[in-house]
Amino acid sequence: MDRTDWIWRAVSGILGILAGLLIFGHPLLSAPIVPGTVILIVGILGVCFGLSSLFWAMKEGWGTAIMGILSIIFGLLLIGSPVVSVLMLVYLQAYLCIMGGFVTIYLAIKLRSV
């Protein structure tokens, strides 16, 4: 087990426990806040994943670059309008899964020929 940065992991765990307790303690107040927060987090992670995919596209090829660009676009859409994104998250996730599947198949075939 990696022992570096253990304090940040402990702080993250404590914050997660506190957030969970607040959500359990105030479910009616949490209902409108939690989905919007999750959308923002998913949007930020989508942009970060897209940027890292673009970085790896230099080594892997164009399939990874396409997935990176799509992730950045969807991440920015999620961040741009969280209210609409809550409604559209299911469709966006389905599209990303389908595109991710195609890219994964492409990379698997490419790796098989190496």
pLDDT, tens digit only, all 114 positions of the chain: 566 777 888 888 899 899 889 888 888 888 778 777 888 888 899 899 999 888 888 887 787 888 889 889 988 988 888 777 777 767 767 887 888 888 888 888 887 776
The predicted pLDDT at position 47 comes to 93
Of 67, 76, 55, 54, the closest CA to residue 99 belongs to 67
Enumerate long-range contacts of 4-11, CB under 8 Å, 24 or more apart.
none
pTM as predicted: 0.59
Q: Compute the distance between CA of residue 42 and CA of residue 50 in angstroms, rounded to an integer.
A: 12
Domain ranges of the chain: 27-112
The predicted pLDDT at position 53 comes to 87
The predicted pLDDT at position 45 comes to 92
The predicted pLDDT at position 93 comes to 73
CB 68 within 8 A of CB 53: yes
The predicted pLDDT at position 48 comes to 93
